[in-house]
Amino acid sequence: MSDIRIAVLGAGGRMGRALIRTIEATNGAVLAGASDRAGSEVIGQDAGVLAGARAANVKIVDDVAAAFAQADVAIDFTAPGALDAHLAAARATKTALVIGTTGLQAPQESAIAAFAKDFPVIRSANYSVGVTLLRALVRQAATVLGPDYDAEIVEMHHNAKVDAPSGTALALGRAVAAGRNVQLENVWVKERDGHTGAREPGTIGFATLRGGDVAGDHTVYFAAAGERLELGHRATSREVFATGAVRAALWVAKQKPGLYDMDDVLGLT
């Protein structure tokens, strides 16, 4: 069976470089393209060398369609503002997508769903295998414990992260809401300040911390009188996200058109 050819968007960033190193180390995967924003100092450099791996003979370009040209699937962990252009390029080149960009708005989610009608795409807020399993455990716990247990989600990330709560925290919140058979948007509490009064039963709270170079810490608390259950995950390196994303790329490249997530990749659905 031939290798799956993968393109990496945002190749000059920390996540992009981790993805390139992971592709290099993964059997059945080969780097076929790499792009970064126009004007970036990494344009024209060898993607493998830049990432700290061996030379890949793949130059980083600022033309996304050119990066897609030889790829079966592309991995996108860039910025929400770039999504429309990336979807258009993927459609033009018939390239499957693995999307890890967070902070997307409803119109962008709709655009991904429209793309998925014609091409396979994975959309996930977190590609860690551990976090994927955590979501399943959180949903199960929420189902068993019910709304009598207060649910709170605490997350911490590095000081350069621009969206809050994190996409993973929101995904965990949706897991709690699914376990309770409610819509997260109807019960979430994203901030507390001043004299807030007592906590409303059935709500799902979020707390956001930012500092240092934290790759990603998430803890879900279920608290009731006399006991507290904590389910959590701590990422110490971006490599765990890169490993999961490359695993997802190898999987989605062989799928029919549709919108998938990491549950599908791991067979948890």
- Annotated active-site positions, please? 157, 161
CB atoms inside a 10 Å sphere around CB 118: 12
Q: Which residue has the tokens 């007592």?
A: 198
Identity at 83, one-letter amino acid code: L
Which residues make up each annotated binding site for NAD(+)? 10-15, 36, 100-102, 124-127
Binding positions for NADP(+): 37
**Residue 171: closest CA among 128, 222, 119, 212:** 128
Of 252, 213, 257, the residue nearest 235 (C-alpha)? 213
Residue 225 CB coordination number (10 Å): 6
Which residues make up each annotated binding site for (S)-2,3,4,5-tetrahydrodipicolinate? 158, 167-168
Question: Do residues 21 and 51 make contact, with C-beta atoms less than 8 angstroms apart?
Answer: yes
Residue numbers belonging to the annotated binding site: 10-15, 36-37, 100-102, 124-127, 158, 167-168
Contact 188, 197 (CB under 8 A): no
